[in-house]
Amino acid sequence: MSDLSVNEAVVMRNVCKDFKVLNRHEGLKGSIRDLFSRDYNTVSAVKDVTLTVHKGEIIGYLGPNGAGKSTTIKMMTGVLEPTSGEILVNGKVPYKNRTENCENIGVVFGQRSQLWWSLPLIESFKLLRDLYMVPQKDYEAMIELYRSLVDIDPILHKPVRQMSLGQRTLSDILAAFLHNPPIVFLDEPTIGLDVSMKAKIRELILGLNKEKNTTVILTTHDMGDVDALCKRIVIIDKGTKIYDNDIEHLKNYFGSYRTLKLKLADDTWEEYLIDEKTTDVMDVIMEKQKEKKIKDVKILEISTEEVIKKIYEGSAK
Amino acid sequence: MNPKRLLSITRAGIMESLHFRLGIFVTLFANLIYLVLVYYLWKAIYDSSGTDVVNGMTFSDTMIYLILATALFNFLEMFVVWDMSRSIQSGKIVLDLLKPMRFRKYTFWSYTGNHVVQFVLTFIPTFIVVMIVTRGAIPLGLNLVWFLIATVLALIINYNIEMMVAPICLFTESTWGINIVKETIVLLLSGASIPLAFFPEKARMIVQYLPFRAVYDIPLSILLGKSGSDTWQGLVSLFGLQLIWLVVLTVCGNLFWNCAVKKVTVNGG
Ligand SMILES: Nc1ncnc2c1ncn2[C@@H]1O[C@H](COP(=O)(O)OP(=O)(O)OP(=O)(O)O)[C@@H](O)[C@H]1O
Ligand SMILES: [Mg+2]
């Protein structure tokens, strides 16, 4: 690889990941047969992905369920070895010397916690401080920074097991940033959270990214996260990268699309997605007016949500 | 090696096991029931044998040995196999592997916290009770120091046995069965449930050189001044046996564990 790639946060080149899975058969007889079976299937979770993430960027890594996002994140963190291709994270191959490389990354998997279940949060923090050998001065400065970004005092002395999902996720994100790693991976950090907690967490991530210039690689199914955090998005589907560009560019690309909202007699809103290149918005309104009474009309730019939906649908064809 | 890191992990381990303080009382209570059973069982054996000394051990020798073996068992017991299987099945292993310290090292030191708690809360009280009841049947001297050293070696050997069994569970996908087999073998062949002196001559010859004995029988023999541990020569040979197994099992434990990690990093668990 070129010398330049050492200065990037993440460089992936033609990365593939195959899983071998046993072909399981049905029923008791099938289970017994499986005991001796050598009948493996290969699942290609990631196919030939090439990607560069610059330092200090927040990138949204998107794709439908089963697209291969988590698999990619696991390869970047070093817990999975790619089947082929090259990966450099912080200029190093992540799965070689995994333990040492872990000192320079932070990871949150939204569905599970890396905190010590029965200990108060502050004890987990102290343990992480010692594990990552963070100098006391830096540790205290970080806690102060946290304090300025979110209200941590109510949860600091709470055992993790007694926390709500939102509080726990918040704690996990704080824990991932504690040793001030240059890169943080967040795999669905806002899964299952309410609106206000989502907002809090987005603010926190943005604040930490600004303060510490941390590179953040984020996967999510919530386009609110993308709108709030990411300038650039990468979309993969069925393991293949299908989009990689600025979010603005994406909206321009779908610039001719409009969301038409019609308020009906019973005060409910109906939504239509219209491509102005092929269909005239006014025509649609007139068409609909013939069918039912319309009280109000709104024409909006296409939302990120719908752009992504279109891309997913487009690639599904 | 950074002692502060290790100390910090041990400290967290202590706090975590103290959190389950109720569990410790349950253990003590279960021991009490178990020991009552053991008492009547061995009383019946001694009564029916017609002599006071069986296989070179008096009834009270046997009881002291078994009570301390039980206490030692509670103290050394580990759940690495269970924890690891659960962690692999749930996918939590990914987070364990993302710690900035080798998993084996990290797990060992966090278990050390648990051992410290068990030592203070189950072994020491049991030892004191035995001392009081038997009015000094256990010699108090340098043997206590040797016992502590032998116990630490036993702890490492036991940990590596677990570290070998856990990957076997991972590959065979049968945690419960394999773990029961392991527990039974260790309990039987280590002298934790029947003193080795009661084994048939031929079986004893073999069992004597197996690693399981290094976990319970050797520390206990050293504590009680048995198996020639009252001479320098005997002491050296007991420690020698422990050290050999420690090295062999550590190497095997590492090998097995590396295979398990390989499986996780290639196949995703
Ligand atoms: N350990 C594994 N063994 C076999 N197949 C796997 C394994 N892990 C993932 N896969 C498969 O690889 C594909 C990608 O999975 P991955 O978890 O990366 O998807 P994802 O993009 O994170 O999806 P989601 O949005 O649902 O989290 C899926 O088809 C999945 O079934
Ligand atoms: Mg996922």
The per-residue pLDDT for B23 is 78
Distances (CA, A) of B66 to A29, B31, B129: 47, 11, 14
List the structure tokens of B66.
Answer: 């078994």
Distance (angstroms) between ligand 2 centre and the Cα of A22 equals 21
Q: Tell me which chain A residue has its CA closest to the CA of residue B106.
A: A131
Q: Tell me which chain A residue has its CA closest to the CA of residue B8.
A: A127
Report how far residue B109's alpha carbon sits from residue B112's, in angstroms, rounded to the nearest whole number: 5
For ligand 1, atom 4: residue with the closest CA: A19
CB under 6 Å to ligand 1: residues? A 19, 21, 43, 45, 63, 65-71; B 268-269
Evaluate the CA torsion angle B85, B87, B93, B97 in order and state its sign.
Answer: negative
Per CB-CB distance under 8 Å, the chain B contacts of A131 are: 5, 8-9, 99-101
The per-residue pLDDT for A299 is 83
Give A118 or A28, the one with higher predicted confidence.
A118
What are the tens digits of pLDDT across the range A96-122?
988 888 999 999 998 889 999 889 999
Q: Is B99:A101 a contact under the CB 8 Å cutoff?
A: no
Q: Tell me which chain B residue has its CA closest to the CA of residue A130.
A: B5
Angle at A76 between CA B251 and CA B171, to 5 degrees: 40
Q: Tell me which chain B residue has its CA closest to the CA of residue A71.
A: B268
User: Can you give the three-state secondary structure of chain A, one letter per residue?
Assistant: CCHHHHHCCEEEEEEEEEEEEECCCCHHHHHHHHHHCCCEEEEEEEEEEEEEECCCCEEEEECCCCCCHHHHHHHHHCCCCCCEEEEEECCECCCCCHHHHHHHEEEEECCCCCCCCCCEHHHHHHHHHHHCCCCHHHHHHHHHHHHHHCCCHHHHCCEHHHCCHHHHHHHHHHHHHCCCCCEEEEECCCCCCCHHHHHHHHHHHHHHHHHHCCEEEEECCCHHHHHHHCCEEEEEECCEEEEEEEHHHHHHHCCCEEEEEEEECCCCEEEEEEECCCCCHHHHHHHHHHHCCEEEEEEEECCHHHHHHHHHHHHHC
Report how far residue B187's alpha carbon sits from residue A294's, in angstroms, rounded to the nearest whole number: 81
Averaged pLDDT, B205-230: 86
- Would the pLDDT of B210 be above 70? yes
Q: Which ligand is nearest to the CA of A234?
A: 1
Distance from CA of B16 to the nearest CA of A (A): 6
What residue segments make up the domains of chain A, in order of their start?
3-250, 257-301
What are the tens digits of pLDDT across the range A216-268?
999 999 888 998 999 999 999 999 998 898 887 777 777 677 888 888 888 88
Closest C-alpha to A124, from A134, A114, A111, A110: A114
Pairing relationship of beta strands A232-237 and A84-89 according to DSSP bridges: unpaired
Distance (angstroms) between ligand 2 centre and the Cα of A108 equals 12
Lowest mean pLDDT among A42-46, A195-199, B84-88: B84-88
Q: Tell me which chain B residue has its CA closest to the CA of residue A111.
A: B92
B267/A78 touch (CB, cutoff 8 Å), yes or no: no
Distance (angstroms) between ligand 1 centre and the Cα of A207 equals 31
The DSSP secondary structure of chain B, one letter per residue, reads --HHHHHHHHHHHHHHHHHTHHHHHHHHHHHHHHHHHHHHHHHHHHHHH-SSEETTEEHHHHHHHHHHHHHHHHHH---HHHHHHHHHHHTTHHHHHTSSS-HHHHHHHHHHHHHHHHIIIIIHHHHHHHHHHHTS-S--SHHHHHHHHHHHHHHHHHHHHHHHHHHHHHHHT-HHHHHHHHHHHHHHHTTSSS-GGGS-HHHHHHHTTSHHHHHTHHHHHHHHT-TTTTSHHHHHHHHHHHHHHHHHHHHHHHHHHHHHHHHHHHH--
List the structure tokens of A140.
Answer: 């205290």
What are the tens digits of pLDDT across the range B55-85?
888 888 888 888 888 888 888 888 888 888 8
Is residue B102 less than 8 Å (CB to CB) from chain A? yes
Greatest pairwise CA separation for chain B in angstroms: 63
Mutate: best of A118, A136, A168, partner B, most B CBs <10 A: A118
Mutate to test the pocket of ligand 1, among A15, A18, A19, A234 (most ligand atoms within 8 A of CB): A19
B101/A119 touch (CB, cutoff 8 Å), yes or no: no
A118 → closest Cβ in B19, B94, B100 = B19
Q: Which residues of A touch B (CB under 8 A)?
A: 19-20, 71, 74, 77-81, 95, 98-100, 102-103, 105, 107, 109, 112, 114, 116-119, 123, 126-127, 130-133
Distance (angstroms) between ligand 2 centre and the Cα of A34 equals 28
The per-residue pLDDT for A240 is 93
Lowest mean pLDDT among A200-209, B89-98, B221-230: B221-230
The per-residue pLDDT for A172 is 95
Q: Mean pLDDT over all residues of chain B?
A: 87
The per-residue pLDDT for B269 is 61
The per-residue pLDDT for B1 is 64
- Would the pLDDT of A209 be above 80? yes
Is residue B265 less than 8 Å (CB to CB) from chain A? yes
B8 → closest Cβ in A20, A99, A127 = A127
Report how far residue A70's alpha carbon sits from residue A62's, in angstroms, rounded to the nearest whole number: 10
Segment of A33-37, A245-249, B11-15 carrying the highest mean pLDDT: B11-15
The per-residue pLDDT for A33 is 73
Is residue B263 less than 8 Å (CB to CB) from chain A? no
Q: Tell me which chain A residue has its CA closest to the CA of residue B92.
A: A112
Q: Which residue has the tokens 């001479």?
A: B231
Distance from CA of A211 to the nearest CA of B (A): 24
- Of all residues in chain A, the percent with pLDDT exceeding 90 is 55
Averaged pLDDT, A151-159: 92
Distances (CA, A) of B228 to A265, A314, B59, B222: 98, 80, 20, 8
The DSSP secondary structure of B214-261, one letter per residue, reads HHTHHHHHHHHT-TTTTSHHHHHHHHHHHHHHHHHHHHHHHHHHHHHH
Task: Please report which confidence band the pLDDT of residue A317 belongs to, taking 50, 70 and 90 as the band edges.
Answer: low
Q: Mean pLDDT over all residues of chain A?
A: 88
Averaged pLDDT, B32-60: 86
A112/B265 touch (CB, cutoff 8 Å), yes or no: no
Is residue B95 less than 8 Å (CB to CB) from chain A? yes
The per-residue pLDDT for B90 is 82
- Of all residues in chain A, the percent with pLDDT exceeding 70 is 96
Closest C-alpha to B21, from B115, B117, B127: B117
Those residues whose beta carbon sits under 5 angstroms from the ion ligand 2 are A 70
Segment of A181-195, A248-262, B36-50, B88-102 carrying the highest mean pLDDT: A181-195
Burial string for B148-183 (b: 16+ CB within 10 Å, else e) reads eebbebbbbbbbbbbbbbbbbbbeeeebeebbeebe
Report how far residue A140's alpha carbon sits from residue A125's, in angstroms, rounded to the nearest whole number: 11
Number of Cβ within a 10 Å radius of residue B144: 13
What are the tens digits of pLDDT across the range B144-185?
899 999 999 999 999 999 999 888 887 777 788 888 888 888
Q: Which atom of ligand 1 is nearest to the CA of A239?
A: 14
Q: Is A260:A272 a contact under the CB 8 Å cutoff?
A: yes
CATH of A3-250, one of 3.10.20.30, 3.40.50.2000, 3.40.50.300, 3.40.50.360: 3.40.50.300
- Would the pLDDT of B122 be above 70? yes
- Of all residues in chain B, the percent with pLDDT exceeding 90 is 23
Per CB-CB distance under 8 Å, the chain B contacts of A127 are: 8-9, 11-12
The per-residue pLDDT for B138 is 81
Report how far residue A82's alpha carbon sits from residue A80's, in angstroms, rounded to the nearest whole number: 6
- Would the pLDDT of A24 be above 80? no
Report how far residue B121's alpha carbon sits from residue A290's, in angstroms, rounded to the nearest whole number: 83
Return residues 193-222 of B near A (CB < 8 Å).
Answer: none
Pairing relationship of beta strands A10-22 and A84-89 according to DSSP bridges: antiparallel
Mutate to test the pocket of ligand 1, among A71, A109, A188, A237 (most ligand atoms within 8 A of CB): A71
The per-residue pLDDT for B268 is 76
Number of Cβ within a 10 Å radius of residue B239: 19
Is residue B100 less than 8 Å (CB to CB) from chain A? yes
